[in-house]
Amino acid sequence: MDMNNVPIGYLFLAIAIMILLSAYFSGTETAMMALNKYRLKHLVKNKHRGAKKASRMLDRQDRLLGVILVGNNLVNFSAATVATIIGFNLFGDTGVLLAPWVLTLVFLIFAEVAPKTLAAEKPESWAFKAVYILEPLQRLFHPAVVFVNAFSNALVRPFLNKADDQDDQLTKDELKTVVSEGGQSVGERQTMLGRILDLESVTVNDIMVPRSEIVAIDIDDDINEILTIAAASQHTLLPIYKDNFGNILGILHLRRLARLVQVEEFTKADLLQLAREPYFVPEATPLHTQLLNFQKEKQRFALVVDEYGDIQGIVTLEDILEEIVGEFTSDFAAHNPEISAQEDGSYLIDGMAVLRDINRALRWDLPIDGPKTLNGFVLEHLETLPESNLCLQVGHYQIETVQIKDNMIKALKIRQMPTEQT
């Protein structure tokens, strides 16, 4: 067939059709590569037909790219041939020279940049429709694709590392990024998911109630004094010790004590019979591990010990849950007796207040990678116990000691200064 005798209108129509075909192949390549693999797995699980076809094709990316590139190159080179004929018929030898330049510009705009931009913006919408055409084309071009892939795979094989079975797995930091980026879709659950991922980096020592703040029962006290302590306690589980807090005899649940009180006469021996064995955990235990340990041991209260076996504090199941879901009060600062707002905008804070609790209550960012309490934080910066009250500034926090007693700073007044002034 003499192409020079073909009506010029048919040739332009052929060029238009090949632009559409090239746009299809270019956009499909971008859309298939841009699909979110985790959302794709979810749609496959929900039996989405387009997703199932796309997933099957992505399982063999060499074949997928092979059919797209074979089809695209076939269309592009055919279009170059037709464009050359059109140029020759219209402008002679000058047209032959101009045809590649004009065709490149037209294809670059309409068959490359535009379709790839659309496909990248809406990959699912494009890919799940395109696979219905791409699948039969893959069968049609199968011999050519196998031939091309055999040679290309042989060329690149020396430069490829052995496939890692874990390549498809997300690290903790990558998963945190996914949660953070998906915040709009998961709503308030984003914060909870982020806290769950952070459990691995937080230890029992970070959230425990320090030893100095533990309410406990001395078995040597008078029985009436013991009942008074139990009645005033805000906790349902109380340690029982003898002589000193390092000698823990057991853990008493106040609900059991309430039943015992109904008996007219009871002794300390009866009290100890109600107590259960203490449960000890190392202070360096990550929270996610301790959460599983609580479940495994069927416990909800643990005594935290250091490397020497000395008791440093207590941690409860509720403490860990609060690390995930947040405080159980609507306004933690208002319900925290350790923090008192002042009229001048500062806060009067107990020296033994835990830095993590202060940050959570006031939305501050006091460093928590060193001392755990406010007293320890200030003493670390002063490097000595002050003999009288003083003021200091740490970062953008202005700190004033209010009460110093018993070798520790009992109370402090803190004001957060504007960041630009630091």
- Write out pLDDT tens, residues 312-329: 999 999 889 888 887 655
> Are the C-beta atoms of 351 and 414 separated by less than 8 Å?
no
Average pLDDT of the segment spanning 261-274:
79
CB atoms within 10 A of CB 271: 22
Q: Which of 171-185, 347-361, 400-414 has the lowest mean pLDDT?
A: 171-185
Q: What is the CATH number of domain 332-421?
A: 3.30.465.10
DSSP per position, 140-197: HTHHHHHHHHHHHHHHHGGGPPPPPTTTTSPPHHHHHHHHHHTHHHHTTHHHHHHHHH
4-19 pLDDT, tens digit per residue, is 566 788 888 999 999 9
Average pLDDT of the segment spanning 267-276:
87
Quote the mean pLDDT of the chain: 85
The SS3 assignment for 407 reads coil
Nearest CA-CA partner of 350 in 312, 397, 405, 304:
405
Intervals of CATH 3.10.580.10 along the chain: 202-325
Give the pLDDT of residue 159.
77
354-408 pLDDT, tens digit per residue, is 888 888 888 899 988 888 889 999 999 998 888 889 999 998 999 999 999 888 8
Domain covering 202-325: architecture: Roll (3.10)
Output the pTM of the full model. Answer: 0.59
- The percent of residues above 90 in pLDDT, for the chain, comes to 41
Task: Tell me how many degrees the CA angle 315-319-322 measures, rounded to the nearest 5.
Answer: 165
Give the pLDDT of residue 133.
92
State yes or no: pLDDT of 178 exceeds 90.
Answer: no
The amino acid that residue 331 corresponds to is D
Nearest CA-CA partner of 114 in 223, 19, 194:
19
